[in-house]
Amino acid sequence: MDNEMMKCTDLTELAQLLIDKGVELESNRAKAEDVPRVVMIHDVPHLYVNNELEPVPVPEPDREYRPDPFIPYTLDGLVKWIKADTDHFFAKENPAALVVVESPTKVSVYTEVRGFYKERVKLAECRYAAPEIPLNRYIDSESLFVNIQTCYIQDDNRDAVLKVVNNIKEEQSEQVADDGISQRLTMKAGVAEVSTSIFKNPAWLRPMRTFTEVEQPVSSFVLRIKEGKQAALFEADGGKWKNTAVKSIAAYLVKQLAGLNLVVIG
């Protein structure tokens, strides 16, 4: 441009030259903007043409094949599977896996977020097969007695509840003095008094409600007895035992899996 300007003989010619160059530059700029190009906005590709942005349709890839999760039935089995690592899920070069204590009866193992769909793959799922424990409803005293004896951890509190429940006899009439906290049961057969028992609520018991590898959490129950040889245990801890169980499971797994390429969350 300097050479062309030097050839100009007067200001009019120089002015016209500058106008022509400006028109040429504007035309080139407009042509450049007409060239489509892709701009990434929040990880979403947009097509940029004529100063306008339009989303670019991106074909979604097929989902990757996922084998069924490994399903052990004990925490000990889950720990052995993770330590064996036959499929190299927990190799040091891989991102750390997540071992999640989802409830007192469920532990799952997940990969990191990956792939086009940003998903975690479930590698394993361990569930505790809890026995049936009737709570918050009246049942016959014999069934409750058997259930407490077979599905609760033995201690002095359990034995005290068993003694009360076992003393309810069908051929006897039960007189129950109840102030809402304690119950005084006078057992009679005809005119002869058999026994008198005072039981105070709540009862602190440890039913088998989580994995056997950890200590069963203790929680409070209200024992209620009514005519017709009916009895019931009502939960009275507001579900606090669930948090206690989850923390116990997490602590157990942290200890058993120390030094491995995973994170335990509970």
Q: How far apart are CA 94 and CA 163, in angstroms?
A: 57
Average pLDDT of 105-134?
92
Judging by DSSP bridges, how do beta strands 262-265 and 97-103 pair with one another?
A: parallel
Q: Are residues 144 and 101 in the same domain?
A: no
Q: Are residues 42 and 80 in the same domain?
A: no
Average pLDDT score over the chain: 80
Q: Are residues 156 and 223 in the same domain?
A: yes
Q: pLDDT-derived band of residue 172, with 50, 70 and 90 as boundaries?
A: very low
pLDDT at 45: 64
Q: Are residues 170 and 223 in the same domain?
A: yes
Instruction: Give the pair of three-digit tokens for residue 166.
Output: 């076992």
Q: pLDDT-derived band of residue 4, with 50, 70 and 90 as boundaries?
A: low
Within-domain flag for 200: yes
Q: Are residues 37 and 168 in the same domain?
A: no
pLDDT at 74: 96
Instruction: Give the pair of three-digit tokens for residue 219.
Output: 């929680």
Within-domain flag for 70: no
Within-domain flag for 65: no
Dihedral, CA of residue 142, residue 145, residue 147 and residue 150, to nearest 10:
-130
pLDDT at 118: 83
Q: Are residues 160 and 86 in the same domain?
A: no
pLDDT of 23 higher than 80: no
Within-domain flag for 62: no
Which one, of 211, 208, 205, lies nearest residue 266 by Cα?
211
* Distance in Å from the first CA to the final CA of the chain: 73
Q: Are residues 110 and 193 in the same domain?
A: no
Q: Are residues 85 and 48 in the same domain?
A: no
Q: Which helix (H) or strand (E) holds 233?
A: strand 230-235
Domain count, the chain: 3
Q: pLDDT-derived band of residue 195, with 50, 70 and 90 as boundaries?
A: low
pLDDT of 146 higher than 80: yes
Q: Are residues 187 and 221 in the same domain?
A: yes
Most confidently predicted of 27-31, 65-69, 138-142, 192-196: 138-142
Over residues 80-108, the pLDDT tens digits come to 999 999 999 999 999 999 999 999 999 99
Within-domain flag for 240: no
> Which is higher by pLDDT, 188 or 86?
86
pLDDT at 46: 63
What is the DSSP secondary structure assignment for residue 38, as one 8-state letter? E
What is the DSSP secondary structure assignment for residue 1, as one 8-state letter? -
Within-domain flag for 104: yes
Q: Are residues 121 and 170 in the same domain?
A: no
pLDDT of 187 higher than 90: no
Pick from 2-6, 102-106, 112-116, 220-224: least confident: 2-6
Transcribe 48-112 into DSSP letters: EETTEEEEPP-PPPPPPP-PPPB--SSHHHHHHHHHH-TT-TT-TTSPPEEEEEEETTEEEEE--
Q: Do the Cβ atoms of 137 and 232 come closer than 8 Å?
A: yes
Over residues 124-141, the pLDDT tens digits come to 999 999 999 999 999 999
pLDDT at 190: 41
Q: Are residues 38 and 170 in the same domain?
A: no
> Which is higher by pLDDT, 228 or 132?
132
pLDDT at 41: 64
Q: How far apart are CA 263 and CA 100, in angstroms?
A: 8
0.75 surpassed by pTM:
no
Q: pLDDT-derived band of residue 63, with 50, 70 and 90 as boundaries?
A: confident
> Which is higher by pLDDT, 138 or 52?
138
List the domain range (segments joined by +) for residue 95: 75-129+246-265
Q: Are residues 143 and 171 in the same domain?
A: yes
Within-domain flag for 63: no
CB within 8 A of 263, min separation 6: which ones? 96, 97, 98, 99
Query: Which residue bears the tokens 């019931």?
Result: 232
